[in-house]
């Protein structure tokens, strides 16, 4: 167990270092930032770059070796020279050895370049996922999950391949053109210049292509995000689609989004193919000029056939890098756009995080206090909560009721700091929740929401999500208190039964009871039930409430509900209206007031006929 814990700690430490490295370099141009991040893997990057340079240098020796072999062969055919045939064999073997060496170093280049890319992809993926976990609710309220999936998959892939398809190709082309130009010009100035005459034109076309591809890639990413959103919504609401026979409409919607992305993808392919074709054509024009000028020199006896063959072979070697220049430009354009989108998420400020001097929450008496709390969602013109104040002590049950939009669920979100208050403060045992660590706060506060989420795993793992090391007896007791144990025991695999995606294999009431069991397992200091029994029948709810009382003897319980039967037993009930507490007291006190609570009670308990007669009599 000690070894396992140490291994986990080391893994967490490594993950934290990767995440910190990915977050470093804020403010830099994305390509510069990505390059520096790739070079962090210095030994893999060094081998990849070194192998690229050596492979390119070996490739540059091939034209000269081939030219010498041709000249020797010509000597053998024209005038028999002693030892020329042996020299030809030696040239052939040398050429073979150089080619094998180039192949080996090219293999190393490809392997370690891919290795750097996969390490970068792993670390950026980890950093992105960590960021998404820490971004506040206010961010997720505005951003569709499909957009985040697109950034975390497609954009990240564009960054991952940048080292192998962009930087390494720059090194390869620089060596081939740099050293190759020196070798050619030092051999023959005219032919050397003609051999490289296509380079300026290719550079101009590459720049034009980069700008066009950069623009279209950004548009394509937006269209792919829209496509992902359509698919995500369709899969999430597949039961509604089937129930209302909406398959045709959904298919048409998906086809329209897919067609938009396809048309733009075709446009991008056209840009890349046209520019690559034009650049390759310029290459062949340059080769024709070299062949014409060099042939003239050979006829005049100013140059050997082998030297001309060296120039042509060098240009043939350059043909593939020139063809790949379009892919390299595309890699830079894609990495630039992807980097803008990816790092914009990675660099977002985390609004809700631990303060530098935050300390773990120390729960002593377990008293929760709202002190003149105001809150407004980002961009909202009106406050959701205005001047809310109340106190809840351990052993007390607080009920909160009000019309939809009155701020009930907002209170549930503020206690565990899913949002921060706009004004006022919330304290637990006198400690402002903004001054304590989030981990300790959220261990002390458990919120059971109406919209429960279950993971695609076993029932046992779903219940023990907050404490994976919980014993089976604790898990079963929590399920019993949530009135779910008997149902689970009747399943073929009982607690090892795997629930479907989002718990679709369970009914709404069963999902809510499982979520209640998940919270009861943790035994938090404050339990908040946000309309968490809305899908549960009255009899089961009564049994759950009775079982929860055992847990509530030494902790605060807050029940938010539309049904007064769920909270009329509370020690104190708050009636919210437009974000303000308009009525406060226990059930009997509020009934005696004859206000809004009494009107809601009559609406829920008296038959409609009685209410209509009462209204007519008035």
Smallest Cα–Cα separation from 59: which of 250, 232, 310, 372?
A: 310
Where does a domain end: 315, 346, 377?
A: 346
Helix, strand, coil shares of the chain, percent, nearest 5, are 70, 10, 20
What strands lie across the sheet with 368-375, from one edge to the other?
385-392, 368-375, 423-428, 431-432
Q: Is residue 488 part of a domain?
A: yes
Q: Is residue 8 part of a domain?
A: no
> Does 237 have pLDDT greater than 90?
no
Q: What is the mean pLDDT of residues 253-281?
A: 82
State how far the Cα of 444 lies from the Cα of 366, in Å rounded to an integer: 9
pLDDT computed for residue 323 by the predictor:
63
- In terms of domains, do 407 and 299 share one? no
pLDDT computed for residue 104 by the predictor:
94
Radius of gyration of the chain (CA): 36
State how far the Cα of 415 lies from the Cα of 133, in Å rounded to an integer: 19
- In terms of domains, do 412 and 554 share one? yes
pLDDT computed for residue 4 by the predictor:
38
Name the percent of the chain lying above pLDDT 70.
84
Name the percent of the chain lying above pLDDT 90.
15
Q: In CATH, what number is assigned to the domain containing residue 462?
A: 3.40.50.300
Smallest Cα–Cα separation from 506: which of 482, 481, 524, 529?
A: 482
In the structure, what pLDDT confidence band is assigned to residue 110 with cuts at 50, 70 and 90?
A: very high
- In terms of domains, do 220 and 87 share one? yes
Q: In CATH, what number is assigned to the domain containing residue 220?
A: 1.20.1560.10
125 contacts 156 by C-beta, under 8 angstroms? yes
> Does 262 have pLDDT greater than 70?
yes
State how far the Cα of 467 lies from the Cα of 487, in Å rounded to an integer: 22
In the structure, what pLDDT confidence band is assigned to residue 26 with cuts at 50, 70 and 90?
A: low
pLDDT computed for residue 428 by the predictor:
93
Q: Is residue 605 part of a domain?
A: yes
Q: Which two tokens stand for residue 479?
A: 């399920």
> Does 81 have pLDDT greater than 60?
no
- In terms of domains, do 42 and 120 share one? yes
- In terms of domains, do 189 and 154 share one? yes
Smallest Cα–Cα separation from 451: which of 236, 598, 235, 256?
A: 236
Question: Which of 34-43, 511-520, 577-586, 604-613 comes out lowest in average pLDDT?
Answer: 604-613
pLDDT computed for residue 618 by the predictor:
43
* Cβ count near 583 (within 10 Å): 18
Q: What is the mean pLDDT of residues 303-318?
A: 81
**Residue 103, SS3 per DSSP:** helix
> Does 556 have pLDDT greater than 50?
yes
For residues 536 and 363, the model is more confident at 363
Average pLDDT, the chain: 81
pLDDT computed for residue 19 by the predictor:
62
- In terms of domains, do 193 and 84 share one? yes
For residues 443 and 80, the model is more confident at 443
- In terms of domains, do 402 and 278 share one? no
Helices 472-481 and 508-522 cross at an angle (nearest 10°) of: 130
Q: Is residue 1 part of a domain?
A: no
56 contacts 179 by C-beta, under 8 angstroms? yes
Q: What is the mean pLDDT of residues 365-373?
A: 92
> What are the backbone angles phi and psi of residue 414, rounded to the nearest 5°?
-80, -35
> Does 36 have pLDDT greater than 60?
yes
Q: Is residue 394 part of a domain?
A: yes
- In terms of domains, do 319 and 377 share one? no
Q: Is beta strand 431-432 parallel, antiparallel or unpaired with respect to 445-449?
A: unpaired
In the structure, what pLDDT confidence band is assigned to residue 283 with cuts at 50, 70 and 90?
A: confident
* Per-residue pLDDT tens digits for 169-206: 889 888 888 887 888 788 888 888 888 787 778 777 77
Q: Which two tokens stand for residue 284?
A: 């062949």
pLDDT computed for residue 390 by the predictor:
92
Smallest Cα–Cα separation from 421: which of 359, 374, 483?
A: 374
Q: Is residue 5 part of a domain?
A: no
Q: What is the mean pLDDT of residues 120-128?
A: 90
Q: Is residue 353 part of a domain?
A: no
- In terms of domains, do 325 and 393 share one? no
* Total of domains in the chain: 2
Smallest Cα–Cα separation from 346: which of 116, 152, 502, 206?
A: 152
Residue with tokens 């998959």: 153
In the structure, what pLDDT confidence band is assigned to residue 232 with cuts at 50, 70 and 90?
A: confident
For residues 426 and 306, the model is more confident at 426
pLDDT computed for residue 116 by the predictor:
93
43 contacts 35 by C-beta, under 8 angstroms? no
In the structure, what pLDDT confidence band is assigned to residue 107 with cuts at 50, 70 and 90?
A: very high
For residues 219 and 540, the model is more confident at 219
For residues 248 and 22, the model is more confident at 248
What's the predicted TM-score (pTM) here? 0.72
* Cβ count near 300 (within 10 Å): 8
Residue 169's H or E segment, with its range, is helix 168-187
For residues 491 and 221, the model is more confident at 491
pLDDT computed for residue 483 by the predictor:
82
Q: What is the mean pLDDT of residues 91-113?
A: 89
> Does 476 have pLDDT greater than 70?
yes
CA angle, 609 then 615 then 618, to 5°: 140
In the structure, what pLDDT confidence band is assigned to residue 356 with cuts at 50, 70 and 90?
A: confident
- In terms of domains, do 247 and 394 share one? no
Q: Which residue range forms the structural domain that includes residue 472?
A: 368-617
* Per-residue pLDDT tens digits for 141-154: 777 777 788 788 88
CA 429, chain centre distance (Å):
38
Where does a domain end: 278, 311, 346?
A: 346
Q: Is beta strand 556-560 parallel, antiparallel or unpaired with respect to 572-577?
A: unpaired
> Does 381 have pLDDT greater than 90?
no
- In terms of domains, do 442 and 547 share one? yes
- In terms of domains, do 51 and 136 share one? yes
Q: Is residue 356 part of a domain?
A: no
Where does a domain end: 346, 381, 398?
A: 346
């Amino acid at each position: 167990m000690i070894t396992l814990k140490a291994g986990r700690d080391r893994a967490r430490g490594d993950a934290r270092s990767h995440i910190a490295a990915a977050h470093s370099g804020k403010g830099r141009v994305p390509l510069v930032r990505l390059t520096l991040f790739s070079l962090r893997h210095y030994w893999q990057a060094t081998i990849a770059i070194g192998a690229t340079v050596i492979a390119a240098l070996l490739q540059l020796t091939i034209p000269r070796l081939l030219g010498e072999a041709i000249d020797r062969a010509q000597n053998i055919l024209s005038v028999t020279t002693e030892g020329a045939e042996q020299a030809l064999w030696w040239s052939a073997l040398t050429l073979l050895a150089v080619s094998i060496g180039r192949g080996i170093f090219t293999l190393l280049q490809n392997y370690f370049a891919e290795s750097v890319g996969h390490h970068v992809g792993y670390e950026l993926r980890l950093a992105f996922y960590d960021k998404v976990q820490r971004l506040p609710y206010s961010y997720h309220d505005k951003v569709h999950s499909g957009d985040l999936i697109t950034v975390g998959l497609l954009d990240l892939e564009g960054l991952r391949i940048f080292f192998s398809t962009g930087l390494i190709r720059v090194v390869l082309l620089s060596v081939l053109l740099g050293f190759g130009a020196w070798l050619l010009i030092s051999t023959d100035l005219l032919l050397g210049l003609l051999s490289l005459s296509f380079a300026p034109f290719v550079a101009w076309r590459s720049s034009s292509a980069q700008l066009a591809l950069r623009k279209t890639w950004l548009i394509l990413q937006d269209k792919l995000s829209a496509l992902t959103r359509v698919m995500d919504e369709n899969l999430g609401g597949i039961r509604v689609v089937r129930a209302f026979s909406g398959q045709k409409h959904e298919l048409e919607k998906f086809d329209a989004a897919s067609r938009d992305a396809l048309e733009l993808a075709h446009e991008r392919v056209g840009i890349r193919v046209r520019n690559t074709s034009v650049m390759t054509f310029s290459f062949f024009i340059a080769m024709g000029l070299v062949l014409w000028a060099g042939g003239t020199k050979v006829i005049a006896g100013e140059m050997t056939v082998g030297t001309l063959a060296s120039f042509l072979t060098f240009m043939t070697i350059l043909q593939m890098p020139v063809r790949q220049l379009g892919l390299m430009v595309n890699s830079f354009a894609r990495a630039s756009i992807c980097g803008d989108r990816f790092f914009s998420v990675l660099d977002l400020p985390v609004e809700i995080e631990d303060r530098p001097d935050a300390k773990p929450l120390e729960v002593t008496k377990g008293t929760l206090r709202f002190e003149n709390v105001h809150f407004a969602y980002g961009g909202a013109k009106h406050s959701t909560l205005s001047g809310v104040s109340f106190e809840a002590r351990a052993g007390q049950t607080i009920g909160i009721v009000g019309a939809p939009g009155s701020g009930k669920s907002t209170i549930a979100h503020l206690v565990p700091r899913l949002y921060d208050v706009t004004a006022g403060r919330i304290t637990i045992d006198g400690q402002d929740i903004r001054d304590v660590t989030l981990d300790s706060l959220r261990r002390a506060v458990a919120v059971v929401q109406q919209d429960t989420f279950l993971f695609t795993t076993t029932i046992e793992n779903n219940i023990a999500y907050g404490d994976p090391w919980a014993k089976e007896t604790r898990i079963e007791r929590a399920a019993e208190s949530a009135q779910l144990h008997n149902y689970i025991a009747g399943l073929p695999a009982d607690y090892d039964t795997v629930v479907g995606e989002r718990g679709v294999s369970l009914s709404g009431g069963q999902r809510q009871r499982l979520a209640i069991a998940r919270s009861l397992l943790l035994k938090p200091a404050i339990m908040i039930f946000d309309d968490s029994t809305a899908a549960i029948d009255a009899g089961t709810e009564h049994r759950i409430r009775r079982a929860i009382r055992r847990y509530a003897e030494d902790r605060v319980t807050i029940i938010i509900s539309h049904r007064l039967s769920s909270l009329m037993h509370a020690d104190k009930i708050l009636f919210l209206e437009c974000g303000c507490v308009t009525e406060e007291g226990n059930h009997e006190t509020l009934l005696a007031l004859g206000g809004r609570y009494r009107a809601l009670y009559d609406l829920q308990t008296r038959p409609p006929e009685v209410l209509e007669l009462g209204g007519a009599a008035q």
